[in-house]
Amino acid sequence: MTISEFNKGLRNKEFSASEAVKKLYQKIKSEDPTIGAFLTLLPDLAIAQAQKIDSVIAKGENLPPLAGVPLAVKDIILIEGQACTAASKILEHYTASYDATVIKKLKEQEVIFVGKTNLDEFAMGSSTENSALQITRNPHDLERVPGGSSGGSAAAVAAGFALGALGSDTGGSIRQPAAFCGVVGLKPTYGAVSRYGLMAMASSLDQIGPFANSVEDASLLFQAIRGEDKFDSTSTPADDGQDLIAPDFSALKNMTLGIPSEYFESGMENNMAKAMEQVKEQLQDLGVKFVPVSLPHTKYSLSTYYIIQPAEVSANLARYDGVRYEGVMPAEYLPNDLQELYFESRGKGLGAEVKRRIILGTFVLSSGYHDAYYKKAQQVRALIVKDFEDAFQKADVIFAPVTPHTAFKIGEKSNDPLSMYLEDAYTLPVNIAGLPGLSIPARVKSDMPIGFQLIGKRFREADILGLGQLYEKEIPPPSL
Ligand code: GLN
């Protein structure tokens, strides 16, 4: 069901919000033990909210467009009074003391928060296997990963546990799990959505964005969460000139899409390359033109990201010292000194991947290496930004794959960090350049879901969301 279908049903009294919530939790209770999408369920909050909505409907009063819509939230975004773990042992007993701005905005929309979803610890990973708390399975094939790091959110939407979800995307963590689970995922422009109340991982790359069953739903959710926020100085006012919900389809059909040769040259599996060709033909049938573009510094994206990201991680995660937030040591533990308490708490509370990034990040920032690594990476970052600017001289939107292949098997890559890092080759450059990227399920026949990516100019979410809506409107889903 899409959000607009849900809205209609609710307003036409085909079902009540309370009935919807009850049914949803029955489904979650019976199916989520296998899938593992949720870390926490919020039934009390959800039932109270549903009752409130039903009483407003009974009185015949108006409700905001997202009222009653059941949403799942990645467990790295704060909801006041609720646990927020970042899927880390170090925050296993932490309770959020305030609402993230996106949560505040969605509360004003009267949505229903179903629960908090699993992720790779502190959002570092591409399979959700780095969660210190549980694994999540791909609803399309339980032997496979849902992608990551927002794997729980993607799986929750794909499994029908929520009509939408929030995730965060630092290097691909919304788009890649969306592609693996066959749902839509939007990584907005850096600054389009406030990061206040999102636990900071790599602050120059992190963005919150929605998962949904359709591009139209993702547009509705994005519209509700975007905009300037005085608590995040990088946030920018929403551009109200763009109609996200009712795009001008005839104008969109005149768009030019750029095909970056570097993304299509190597590394993609055959079925993925074939699917990309089919999607390209489908888009051409809609009227859009394709032109070749070049992003020559693509080959440096991965090394640039894996310097800047760990550097920022090492600074951001210094706050988890075992003193602030919640302790991880048993109550009877008495350290000899503060340093020992830090060592013990961080040693015990943080997982292997998180430690790896902190060590890497501390190294690239350290005296003597800073210029060779961190400064150089920042210089290359500027070149990657420039590549996209040049490409957008020729094209309105860039067309790309999301991943080199479909969802891999659980355990297949968990002992090989480098091959896990390579997962992000097509998604990282978008974060490095601060651009919006949309992952859309390709309407082609395939055993496992395949996503394609539309990359827009800065703050031109309307272009990629509009094209995505056009694609969904005019290209029928493949027959089974
Ligand atoms: N997989 C990437 C990483 O491990 C991206 C994660 C993310 O976007 N949060 O850093």
Residue 132 maps to which CATH number?
Answer: 3.90.1300.10
Task: Please indicate, yes or no, if residue 329 is contained in any of the structural domains.
Answer: no
Considering only CA atoms, which of 210, 206, 185 is closest in space to residue 196?
206
Do 410 and 135 contact (CB within 8 A), yes or no? yes
Task: Please indicate, yes or no, if residue 206 is contained in any of the structural domains.
Answer: yes
Do 72 and 156 contact (CB within 8 A), yes or no? yes
Task: Please indicate, yes or no, if residue 438 is contained in any of the structural domains.
Answer: no
Considering only CA atoms, which of 211, 201, 207 is closest in space to residue 176?
211
pLDDT digits (tens, 9 = 90+) for 158-171: 999 999 999 999 99
Ligand 1 pocket, CB under 6 A: 123-126, 149, 168-173, 309, 424
Query: Residue 68: what pLDDT?
Result: 96
Task: Please indicate, yes or no, if residue 131 is contained in any of the structural domains.
Answer: yes
Determine what percent of the chain is predicted with pLDDT higher than 90. Answer: 91
Task: Please indicate, yes or no, if residue 88 is contained in any of the structural domains.
Answer: yes
Alpha-carbon distance 363 to 354, whole Å?
A: 14
Question: Structural domain of residue 40, as residue ranges?
Answer: 3-225
Query: Residue 100: what pLDDT?
Result: 98
pLDDT digits (tens, 9 = 90+) for 3-53: 999 999 999 999 999 999 999 999 999 999 999 999 999 999 999 999 999
Task: Please indicate, yes or no, if residue 7 is contained in any of the structural domains.
Answer: yes
Task: Please indicate, yes or no, if residue 297 is contained in any of the structural domains.
Answer: no
Atom of ligand 1 nearest to the CA of 148: 1
Alpha-carbon distance 227 to 236, whole Å?
A: 6
Q: Is the pLDDT of residue 112 over 70?
A: yes
pLDDT digits (tens, 9 = 90+) for 117-152: 999 999 999 999 999 999 999 999 999 999 999 999
Per-residue CA distances from 90 to 94, 309, 459 (Å): 8, 20, 36
Atom of ligand 1 nearest to the CA of 431: 8
Active centre residues (catalytic): 74, 149, 173
Number of domains in the chain: 1
Do 205 and 183 contact (CB within 8 A), yes or no? no
pLDDT digits (tens, 9 = 90+) for 214-267: 999 999 999 999 999 999 999 998 876 778 989 999 999 999 999 999 999 877
- As a whole number of Å, the CA-based R_g of the chain is 22
pLDDT digits (tens, 9 = 90+) for 406-434: 999 999 998 888 888 888 999 999 999 99
Task: Please indicate, yes or no, if residue 35 is contained in any of the structural domains.
Answer: yes
Ligand 1 center–CA 444 separation, angstroms: 27
Q: For strand 207-212 and strand 397-401, is the pairing parallel, antiparallel, or unpaired? A: unpaired
- Residue 142: exposure state from Cβ atoms within 10 A (0-12, 13-18, ≥19): exposed
Ligand 1 center–CA 392 separation, angstroms: 25
Alpha-carbon distance 34 to 30, whole Å?
A: 8
Query: Residue 480: what pLDDT?
Result: 64
Ligand 1 center–CA 185 separation, angstroms: 15
Q: For strand 207-212 and strand 184-187, is the pairing parallel, antiparallel, or unpaired? A: antiparallel
Atom of ligand 1 nearest to the CA of 124: 4
